[in-house]
Amino acid sequence: MTFSGTHLADLQAPLLGVNIDHVATVRNARGGVFPDPVRAALLAVEAGADIVTFHLREDRRHIRDEDVARLKQAIAVPLNFEAAVTDEMLAIIEQTRPEHVCLVPERRQEVTTEGGLDVVGQFGRMQDACARLAAAGSRVSLFIGADPAQIEAAARAGAPCIELHTGALANAWWAGDAALLQSELARLREGVRLGRSLGLRTHAGHGLALSDDLPDGRSPSEPSSTALVAALPDVGELHIGHALIGRAVFVGLRQAIADFKAEAIRARHA
């Protein structure tokens, strides 16, 4: 499944946010400056990425502060700055003034972001962060599970957007657990509907992949996790990192981005 036709970009589909964190992960494994995540971001934009996503973590395990400054200077498409809701990160965001911000939960010991924000339990902090970052000119999204109480709290907190965590759906898809996959898809579908009813722009991401990259023994004709989520008509953006960068190891970054964009377009117009 390979596509390079730029005419596909003219069709309506979720916008694709390409997360470049794992280019920085490879760089940081040896230290130094190669491979450069900013160079990857520039190539991603040339290849059709609508948004460049990155996560500045407290421990700086991949993206570094100097990367953020260089991305702001070099990248013409909107930047989506993922960060924890800490005073340090809020101050950096206010200084950087990215077009988009996605506030996420963060634990130092986790391998990747596990679950969504507890907007209900930390409502005052989330409300303050949304107001503070809106004043800095950034569109704020809260990264949450597809839970009605969390979605409703996000709307009350003043977030114009939510990004629904698709990790459980993606894990069920990788495992070939059809029952759990359908249950998670139904939960996500209802979350998207609720978000729309509350006037929220709804995005989705975490763990989404393509069927070509399934392990041996699984049919590549199965709908991909990316296609399942992209088919939901009110999902406005998909943010994809690990699987896209992993695919790029085999087919190149340009082709990987083209493949994910084509998958989203096919799914939306099926």
Q: What span, in angstroms and rounded, lies between the C-alpha atoms of 172 and 80? A: 27
Rg from Cα positions in the chain: 18
Nearest CA among 111, 234, 87 for reference residue 164: 234
Query: Any catalytic annotation for residue 99?
Result: no
Phi and psi at residue 156, to the nearest 5°:
-65, -30
Query: Any catalytic annotation for residue 206?
Result: yes
Instruction: Give me the catalytic one of 55, 62, 203, 239.
Output: 55
Phi and psi at residue 187, to the nearest 5°:
-65, -40
Query: Any catalytic annotation for residue 269?
Result: no
Q: What span, in angstroms and rounded, lies between the C-alpha atoms of 101 and 43? A: 22
Residue in the structure block whose two tokens are 């996959």: 181
Instruction: Give me the catalytic one of 22, 62, 82, 165.
Output: 82
**Residue 154 burial by Cβ neighbours in a 10 Å radius (0-12, 13-18, 19+):** buried
Instruction: Give me the catalytic one of 62, 100, 206, 239.
Output: 206
The residues carrying an active-site annotation are 55, 82, 206
